[in-house]
């Protein structure tokens, strides 16, 4: 089997950014993170206030890819069977048969995932982790690639439920989506006011292309020194006092899990590839450290009372932990 051509696929990726940019203005960072998840098989959680084009970006990206896409609007009355499927009785054949739910897709947009109670949220767990779903007594594999792209509004907003820690840990990255810059919002306003926005996009990447890009990312080299640096970053979240971060020790309830080490390793290699390199630099690790770690660190109520944010803790870790 021939080795995929890196330059060919980098050009295709640039086409993806261009096609999405024809519809979505000023969200290149979000698109970059979504592609990192797609190319490494990691699920993505997007958080931001309504109206920042989270849903539009994901739906547009799905059109640029030759993949089966499903959107699920999470609501307080959504049932687990609405997501994964159920057994229905066929009167003509006098037997039960399986009706698969929208989770059986390559790209699943879980829109406003924190609008549903924990029972529905936990229905995602088996699919996200095991790439399979159990309906009745039978387990069904999900077609690969499989990626859950979830959006959520800030938990402080009315009618939202915090995601369980076990589910949060299944997301490779949690990306905070901020307001647009003035120039970008001006462009959005003009497009919408003049009804000149683009709805049609050209498909760029196929399923085979995605697997080829994953092969190339797996071939990106990372030194043992940087692998140990990742481990040190992870351990600093668990035992901050041992890393000259004693001022944060009283605020940390739980550090990150081993999934964080794996996610940081994979994401850093994807960043290096997207930056047209076949080797990882320390900057690649630092680039994705916040998105990998922020939802896995659990601070206590004392941190909230003192105004300590997870972001502050991560920034301190990146300053204090050396590369040896």
Confidence band (pLDDT; 50, 70, 90) for 123? confident
| Alpha carbons 34 and 28: distance in angstroms, whole number | 10
Residue intervals of the chain classified under CATH 3.40.50.300 are 6-212
Kindly report the number of other CB atoms within 10 A of residue 1's CB atom.
Answer: 4
Torsion 54-57-60-64 (CA) sign: negative
Kindly report the number of other CB atoms within 10 A of residue 21's CB atom.
Answer: 16
Domain 220-320 has CATH 2.30.110.10: no
User: For residue 32, what are the contacts with CB-CB under 8 A and spacing of at least 6?
Assistant: 274
Place of tokens 């098989």: 41
Fold topology of 6-212: Rossmann fold (3.40.50)
Tens of pLDDT, residues 128-161: 888 888 887 888 999 989 999 988 877 666 667 7
Tokens of 100: 């698969």
CA dist 18 to 50, 204, 247, Å? 24, 10, 45
Tens of pLDDT, residues 51-104: 788 888 888 888 898 888 899 998 888 888 899 888 787 777 777 788 889 999
Residue intervals of the chain classified under CATH 1.10.8.80 are 220-320
Contact 205, 39 (CB under 8 A): no
Torsion 120-122-210-112 (CA) sign: positive
Contact 248, 313 (CB under 8 A): yes
Q: Could you tell me the pTM of the whole model?
A: 0.89
């Amino acid at each position: 089997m021939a080795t995929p051509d890196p330059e060919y696929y980098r050009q295709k990726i640039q086409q993806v950014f261009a096609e999405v940019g024809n519809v979505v203005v000023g969200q290149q960072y979000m698109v970059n993170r979504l592609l990192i998840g797609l190319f490494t098989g990691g699920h993505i959680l997007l958080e931001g206030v309504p109206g920042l084009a989270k849903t539009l970006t994901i739906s547009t990206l799905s059109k640029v890819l030759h993949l089966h896409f499903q959107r699920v609007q999470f609501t307080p009355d959504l049932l687990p069977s609405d997501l994964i499927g159920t057994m229905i009785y066929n009167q003509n054949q006098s037997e039960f048969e399986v009706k698969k739910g929208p989770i059986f897709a390559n790209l699943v947009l879980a829109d406003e995932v924190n609008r549903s109670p924990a029972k529905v949220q936990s229905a995602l767990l088996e699919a996200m982790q095991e790439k399979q779903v159990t309906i009745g007594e039978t387990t069904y594999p999900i077609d690969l690639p499989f990626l859950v792209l979830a959006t959520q509004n800030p938990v402080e907003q009315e009618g939202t439920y915090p995601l369980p820690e076990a589910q949060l840990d299944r997301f490779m990255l949690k990306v905070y989506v901020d307001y647009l810059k003035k120039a970008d919002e001006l462009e959005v306003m003009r497009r919408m006011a003049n009804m000149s926005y683009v709805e049609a996009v050209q498909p760029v990447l196929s399923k085979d292309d995605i697997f080829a890009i994953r092969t190339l990312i797996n071939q990106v080299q990372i030194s043992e020194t940087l692998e140990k640096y990742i481990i040190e970053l992870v351990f600093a979240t668990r035992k901050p006092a041992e890393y000259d971060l004693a001022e944060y020790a009283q605020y940390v309830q739980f550090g990150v899990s081993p999934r964080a080490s794996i996610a940081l390793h994979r994401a850093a290699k994807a960043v290096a590839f997207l930056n047209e390199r076949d080797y990882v630099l320390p900057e690649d690790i630092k680039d994705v450290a916040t998105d990998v770690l922020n939802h896995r660190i659990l601070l206590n109520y004392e941190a909230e009372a003192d105004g300590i944010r997870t972001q502050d803790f991560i920034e301190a870790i990146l300053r204090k932990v050396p590369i040896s």
